[in-house]
Amino acid sequence: MTKFNVTALPRLTRATALMVVAGLLSACSFVPTYERPAAPVSASFPGAAAATGSVAAADLAWQDFFADARLKKLVEIALTNNRDLQVAVLNISKAQAQYQIQRAAQFPAVNAAFAGQRQAKTADVYTLGVGITSFELDFFGRLQSLKDATLAQYLSTEESRKTVQISLIAAVANTYLSMLADDQLLTLTRDTLNTREQSFKLSKLRFDNGVTSELDLRLAQGLVEGARANLAQLQRQRAQDENALVLLVGQPLPSDLPAAGQLGTQAQMLKDVPAGLPSDLLNRRPDIRAAEQQLLSANANIGAARAAFFPRISLTASVGKVSSDLDNLLSGGTGWAFAPQLVLPLFNMGANQANLDAAKITRQITVAQYEKAVQTAFREVADALAGSGTLGEQYRATQAQVDAAQASYKLSDLRYSGGVASYLDLLDAQRSLFVAQQAAIQVQLAQLQNQVTLYKALGGGWTGP
């Protein structure tokens, strides 16, 4: 360790050094002892089975969670170009600069100064030197508390940036999955429209030959127009989903993207993640961590408000050349000045007490906001788990309904061709099949989007591979 010989220093430097050392050694803190508030949620998620040997969502990189190459590329583009994420990153830089400003207040600022003074009936005086202006000795930890509060704000901003990234990745994934579902629904609707148009032509031919009534003709025509209306609606929805995706990725979709796949099963497109415990969210989910940093900042501000009741000791010192002749300033004599100042608050109409009360209330507010963040996260995970526990069974049942509707349609077609069933029975079977097929695609989409939502709710998506 380097040793300093205090007695060898000039008197001014020695006095300043002793006071600075004393200030650093005597500094105390009035910041309340921080304790994380108890989580106002259950110790486990409802209906969640304990998973062992699996990677937690917060540790699972989004590149590993998604299996679709096109989706991975879209997420990569969005992380580069999305404007909301860019604002979040710039907010981090701003918070870092504010922290550096507050941190600099703990160290003396050395400035160069030139001054000239002319008074009546007296000689001119010119000075040139360096000095320290109003450097506060942080005996009671006021500056340290303010620095800690600003540091917590900076860390909260960084966690908020992670939250924006998680939300962005989930939004890109869900919008992309919606587009895949749109494409499948469009294909289904076009095929259905083609089938209905063929049935309408046949019905018109039979009507023209007097085989069937006008009622059968108009029923067939109504189904055709219904399919056309569905097709127009889906085309509009597909265009709107693509516009939403363009906004998320921050640029027009490139032409060299990997080929788009079809809406597959959950095992084909997404990796499974365990729910874990609510206590895991407190340590891994960025929005909860951001809320806790805000709480730490509010806690530190109480220390700064308490320190304002005690004296402030500041130092002003300078050393340099002094001369009555500007031309001979550099060759003039050496002068110095040392001006310590102690300010003790006596009466300010209760401003310090009001500031302390405001700091305590702010901490109470941030405690409530932290608890709300925990409760919101718990609810989001619980909702996604409820979806995981039911959407799989719903998709299985819906797919079985499609199989039954297909068999019913084939039997109705055979019965109608054999003259056993009416044309109304055939059209009703055709309509039921179309509705069941649409429902199956929608449930499949909901199942995949629910898995993405669960990944997001568990804090996944902000870590890299």
SS3 state at 313: strand
pLDDT at position 369 is: 96
pTM above 0.85, yes or no: no
> Does the pLDDT of residue 434 top 50, yes or no?
yes
Across all residues in the chain, what is the average pLDDT?
A: 85
Cα angle vertex 309, ends 21, 316, to 5°?
40
Residue 148, number of CB atoms within 10 A of its CB? 22
Residue-wise pLDDT tens digits, 25-36: 445 678 999 999
Structure letter (DSSP) for residue 339:
E
| HSE-CB of 324 using CA atoms within 13 angstroms | 4
Q: Write down all domains in the chain, each with its CATH number in brackets.
A: 32-457 (1.20.1600.10)
Q: What is the pLDDT of residues 157-184, one digit of tens each?
A: 999 999 999 999 999 999 999 999 999 9
Residue with tokens 């009360």: 357
pLDDT of residue 284: 87
Helix, strand or coil for residue 398? helix
Q: Name which of 4, 32, 30, 31 is nearest 18 in CA terms.
A: 4
Angstrom CA distances, 405 to 196, 368, 399, 431, stand at: 16, 53, 10, 9
Q: Which burial class, exposed, middle or buried, applies to 40 when counting CB atoms under 10 A from its CB (0-12, 13-18, 19+)?
A: exposed
Closest C-alpha among 89, 90, 101 to residue 150: 101
Find the length of the chain.
Answer: 465
